[in-house]
Amino acid sequence: MTYLQLSAWFVGAAIVAALVLSVLAGRHRAHVGGIALTVVVLVILTAVFDTVMIATGLFHYSPEHLLGVHIGLAPLEDFAYPIAGAILLPALWAALRARRVKADRRATAEDAS
């Protein structure tokens, strides 16, 4: 399995999970603009810091498993994990927040009874 295939499965799973969590969150779902801004910032930070770490020899990738596209010294496949995190974590946060709001409303209604 190449790094690209592994990355594609990982990002795909994050997207599916984020969609399910967004449905569960209802009107409390994460804002798309915030997610997009987070993705941009994380891609820039990943490009900078991975380039520095690769340049100093902290780690390397097996070239036969790479697509060959790099941003700085960081291979394209290396960006999948921050992108998946930026997609999945806000959706998870929103779903948990919606669950908490629902539980708080239920507790308030029971107290009022």
In DSSP terms, 74 is beta-bridged to 71
Helix axes 80-112, 3-25, angle to 10 degrees: 20
Better-scored residue on pLDDT, 113 or 78: 78
Q: State pLDDT tens for residues 26-55.
A: 888 888 898 999 999 999 999 999 999 999
Residue with tokens 């994460």: 30
> Quick check: 23 and 96 in contact, CB under 8 A?
no
> Quick check: 83 and 47 in contact, CB under 8 A?
no
> Quick check: 65 and 32 in contact, CB under 8 A?
no
The pTM for the full model equals 0.81
pLDDT at 16 over 90: yes
